[in-house]
């Protein structure tokens, strides 16, 4: 009897004191408090304890340097470019749309956590379970991380019954004249573009999304990229590519909402309602023949681009943003800006625009040639690939002087969804709710 009273006193003491998570798990294991409170009560306490005792070991440091994940449009399209990119294309291995829908729901929840600076999930401090977050970004700031999702033309085959939802003009790009495409850098059912001011934060996002996708989608190809950092260039001038020239000078003004509707955002009147507020992405992996370029004279380099290397100004002008005067002639009656220069062909008559969001890449040495495997991960967003990207690329592939120094090795296109609100998920306009 005395022994029973001692047990009652110990039980009352345990119930009245604040128990640690470790105490609760230990006691639940031996049945002490488990029998007194029941499994549901233990779960409630554990959940409450987990929420109330957040620490650097369970959440990332909250930082004002974050970009909201939820919104009318996906972040990472008209968002000012961050320092780094991790790009991944996936192939879907699931055979039903329900699994695909569930994956995008999980991806949305995880991405919102990453963008806000929180670890994924709530199982990150239990020694008996695998952590729900891989942890390499713990205690790092969000670093303006954005995560952008899209689907490729191959997703609209017969596997998921989405044939009727494929946008009429959405298809793989044609083979252009200067292409030397390699299959390992082309295509994909899905894409994830992660941009951030810290490469480890960006890699963390791709790694965890690939882990969440296991059993539903597998990686097809990935590419990391970089541009000048905000620390190296506090003025945020137009970044330079690996050939030393400024890249992106003629981009449309992303703060002009009317212009963005004309150039970037898909509209319901385009005939595909689920893409309204989304955008079509073109991705090209462009290998640069750096060693050949480095032996070229400055005059040849500037004629190739049609701009001055130092200032970025059009040939014959002084400022980077001076108007292109493609009909201006020199003293010999020749165009000051060569008609087959990169800027002349990309501009054309000025009636076609797209938003470029490219990054340089370096993937070490090509073991076959001993040369650097480096170049440009070209990315553009547009309202219609057929009316914007393809006409420009046709001009460039046929006549661009830059083709002597660059070769396109990879190619893919993706329909990037509109944004979503909290409680919804990216892709629900296409896949529908459960």
Query: Residue 48: which domain range?
Result: 2-52
Mean pLDDT of 4-17: 44
Whole-angstrom Cα Rg for the chain:
27
Q: Are residues 170 and 304 in the same domain?
A: yes
Q: Are residues 134 and 237 in the same domain?
A: yes
Query: How far apart are alpha carbons 192 and 85 in whole angstroms?
Result: 10
Chosen domain end from 52, 74, 92: 52
Q: Dihedral of the CA atoms 231, 237, 243, 245 (nearest 10)?
A: -160
Classify residue 278: in a domain, yes or no. yes
Query: How far apart are alpha carbons 206 and 217 in whole angstroms?
Result: 13
pLDDT of residue 235: 86
Q: Are residues 116 and 188 in the same domain?
A: yes
Whether pLDDT at 4 is above 50:
no
pLDDT of residue 306: 98
Classify residue 57: in a domain, yes or no. no
Query: How far apart are alpha carbons 279 and 312 in whole angstroms?
Result: 29
Q: Are residues 136 and 266 in the same domain?
A: yes
Classify residue 63: in a domain, yes or no. no
Q: What is the DSSP string of 346-378?
A: HHTTS----EE--EEEEEEE-TTTSSEEEEEEE
Query: How far apart are alpha carbons 380 and 11 in whole angstroms?
Result: 65
Whether pLDDT at 209 is above 90:
yes
pLDDT of residue 52: 36
Which residue in 3, 188, 9, 174 sits closest to 91, CA to CA? Answer: 188
Whether pLDDT at 280 is above 80:
yes
The predicted-structure confidence for 149-175, as pLDDT tens digits, reads as follows 999 999 999 999 999 999 999 999 999
Q: Are residues 124 and 24 in the same domain?
A: no
Query: How far apart are alpha carbons 178 and 175 in whole angstroms?
Result: 8
Q: Are residues 48 and 97 in the same domain?
A: no
H or E element that contains 299: helix 298-305
Q: How confident is the model at residue 18 (pLDDT cuts 50, 70, 90)?
A: very low
The predicted-structure confidence for 110-131, as pLDDT tens digits, reads as follows 999 999 999 999 999 999 999 9
Q: Dihedral of the CA atoms 325, 388, 353, 73 (nearest 10)?
A: -170
Whether pLDDT at 212 is above 80:
yes
Q: Are residues 174 and 90 in the same domain?
A: yes
pLDDT of residue 23: 41
Q: In the numeric block, which tokens belong to residue 76?
A: 């990472």
Most confidently predicted of 38-52, 62-76, 200-214, 226-240: 200-214
Classify residue 189: in a domain, yes or no. yes
Classify residue 60: in a domain, yes or no. no
Q: Are residues 271 and 148 in the same domain?
A: yes
pLDDT > 90 in the chain, percent = 82
* 74 burial via Cβ count (<10 Å: 0-12, 13-18, 19+): buried
Q: How confident is the model at residue 178 (pLDDT cuts 50, 70, 90)?
A: confident
pLDDT of residue 63: 56
Whether pLDDT at 258 is above 90:
yes
Classify residue 66: in a domain, yes or no. no
* Global pTM value: 0.85
Q: Are residues 97 and 33 in the same domain?
A: no
Give Dmax over CA atoms of the chain in angstroms: 115
pLDDT of residue 434: 56
Mean pLDDT of 385-407: 97
Query: How far apart are alpha carbons 244 and 240 in whole angstroms?
Result: 6
Whether pLDDT at 341 is above 60:
yes
Q: Are residues 107 and 19 in the same domain?
A: no
The predicted-structure confidence for 223-254, as pLDDT tens digits, reads as follows 999 998 888 988 889 999 999 999 999 999 99
Q: Are residues 363 and 425 in the same domain?
A: yes
Q: In the numeric block, which tokens belong to residue 218?
A: 């597998």
Whether pLDDT at 54 is above 80:
no
Q: Are residues 26 and 169 in the same domain?
A: no
Overall domain count for the chain: 2
Classify residue 68: in a domain, yes or no. no
* 395 burial via Cβ count (<10 Å: 0-12, 13-18, 19+): middle
């Amino acid at each position: 009897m005395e022994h029973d009273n001692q047990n009652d006193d110990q039980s009352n003491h345990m119930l009245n004191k604040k128990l640690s998570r470790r105490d609760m798990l230990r006691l639940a294991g031996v049945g002490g408090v488990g029998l007194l409170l029941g499994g549901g009560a233990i779960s409630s306490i554990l959940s409450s304890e987990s929420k109330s005792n957040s620490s650097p070991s369970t959440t990332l440091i909250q930082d004002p340097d974050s970009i909201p994940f939820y919104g009318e449009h996906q972040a990472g399209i008209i968002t000012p470019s961050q320092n780094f990119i991790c790009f991944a294309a996936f192939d879907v291995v699931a055979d039903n749309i329900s699994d695909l829908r569930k994956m995008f729901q999980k991806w949305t929840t995880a991405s919102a956590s990453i963008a806000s600076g929180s670890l994924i999930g709530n199982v990150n401090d239990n020694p008996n379970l695998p952590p729900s977050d891989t942890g390499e970004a713990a205690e790092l700031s969000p670093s303006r991380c954005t995560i952008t999702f899209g689907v490729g033309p191959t997703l609209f085959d017969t596997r998921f019954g989405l044939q009727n939802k494929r946008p009429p003009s959405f298809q793989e790009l044609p083979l252009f004249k200067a292409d030397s495409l390699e299959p390992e850098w082309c295509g994909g059912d899905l894409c994830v573009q992660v941009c951030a001011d810290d490469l480890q934060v960006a890699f963390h996002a791709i790694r965890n999304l690939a882990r969440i996708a296991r059993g539903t989608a597998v990686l097809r190809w990935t590419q990391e990229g970089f541009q000048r950092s905000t620390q190296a260039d506090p003025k945020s001038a137009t970044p330079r590519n690996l050939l030393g020239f400024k890249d992106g000078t003629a981009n449309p003004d992303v703060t002009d909402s009317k212009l963005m509707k004309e150039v970037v955002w898909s509209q319901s009147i385009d005939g595909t309602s689920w893409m309204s507020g989304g955008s079509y992405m073109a991705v090209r992996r462009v290998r640069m023949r750096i060693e050949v370029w480095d032996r070229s004279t400055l005059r040849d380099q500037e004629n190739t681009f049609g701009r001055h290397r130092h200032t970025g100004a059009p040939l014959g002008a002084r400022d980077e943003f001076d108007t292109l005067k493609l009909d201006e002639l020199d003293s010999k009656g020749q165009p000051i800006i060569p008609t087959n220069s990169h800027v002349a062909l990309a501009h054309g008559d000025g009636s076609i625009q797209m938003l470029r969001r490219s990054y340089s890449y370096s993937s070490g040495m090509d073991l076959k040639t001993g040369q650097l495997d480096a170049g440009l991960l070209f990315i553009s967003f547009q309202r219609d690939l057929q009316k914007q990207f393809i006409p420009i690329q046709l001009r460039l592939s046929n006549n661009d002087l830059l083709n002597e120094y660059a070769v396109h090795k990879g190619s893919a296109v993706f329909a990037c969804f509109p944004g979503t609100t909290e409680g919804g998920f990216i892709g629900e306009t296409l896949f529908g709710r459960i």
